[in-house]
Amino acid sequence: MWKIAGTLGTVGLLTLLVFVRASEDARLRELVERAIKAHGGPDVLAKYKAGASKEKGKIHLPGQAIDFTGETSYQLPDRIRSDAHFKAGGQEFTVIQVIDGKKGWFKVGDKTEEMNKEMLDEAREQINVAKITHLIYLQDKDYKLSPLGEAKVGGRPAIGVRVERKGYRDVNLFFDKDKGLLLKMETRSKDLMQGGQEYTSTTLYDDYKKVEGMMVPYKVTIERDGKPYVDAEVTEAKIAEKIDDNVFEKP
């Protein structure tokens, strides 16, 4: 009798846990749907998976902050190009990075090289972050959501969600509790220039403006382990259904 009661009790507990988890997942999915709506709605985000922007700002290196201007182009699900132009010590130089699916290149000055496996693995993580922060991909069941609770981002109340996808690093998202806009993204990254040293990469989004019906952040701040790394202001932003293939060719 006790064994039967114990078995029934275990089944009841497991049923309750499944119900709680299903209810929690439903709440998180509702939060994501609200964020998608705040950023322009499912139709807009599904239609416009490409874009280009121009930026200016500073990159913070040990002992100095260097001015830069840049252009970024993307075509989801797997293409990104960034051109960064720097001025330092009276000299100017350009760094270009292109990711085109399973291929990638980087160019410093006039020298172009193919990305090695380690670089491509890191680029693959960048692509995953780009898809996650576009939000519409979170409707795919390949992305598992779990709660992070409430927090403050820039003094604003926010709700956190951890995003997991098999084969990729976890990504934490924090949404404005009132408006639903994405305020912060947090994940682990590697500095390949420092022997693959890992750090926490945090990106803060602010000054949202509507472009073709989509909300786009015009101020982006990147931190490494809580320290300033990039302060960028978007000076021009465009979204599109598709970008010319030649943008993502070998530079």
Question: H helices of the chain, where?
Answer: 2-38, 42-47, 117-133
Task: Let me know: does 183 contact 154? Beta carbons within 8 Å.
Answer: yes
CATH of domain 2-77+141-243: 2.50.20
pTM of the predicted protein model: 0.88
What would the mean pLDDT of 232-244 be, rounded to a whole number? 96
Cis preceding linkage at 147, omega within 30: no
Q: What is the pLDDT of residue 89?
A: 74
74-83: b (≥16 Cβ within 10 Å) or e: bbbebbbbbb
198 confidence band (pLDDT: 50, 70, 90):
very high
Q: What is the pLDDT of residue 41?
A: 97
Judged against a pLDDT cut of 50, whether residue 164 lies above it is answered with: yes
Instruction: Give the residue carrying structure tokens 């119900």.
Output: 19
Residue 58, classified by CB atoms within 10 Å of its CB into exposed (0-12), middle (13-18) or buried (19+), is: middle
Q: How does strand 79-88 pair with strand 50-61? A: unpaired
19 confidence band (pLDDT: 50, 70, 90):
very low
Q: What is the pLDDT of residues 108-155, one digit of tens each?
A: 888 999 999 999 999 999 999 999 999 999 999 899 999 999 999 999
Query: So where are the chain's domains?
Result: 2-77+141-243
Residue 112 has phi, psi (to 5 degrees) of: -110, 135
Kindly report which listed range (151-160, 184-193, 204-213, 236-245) carries the lowest average pLDDT score: 184-193
Tokens of 233: 């202001």
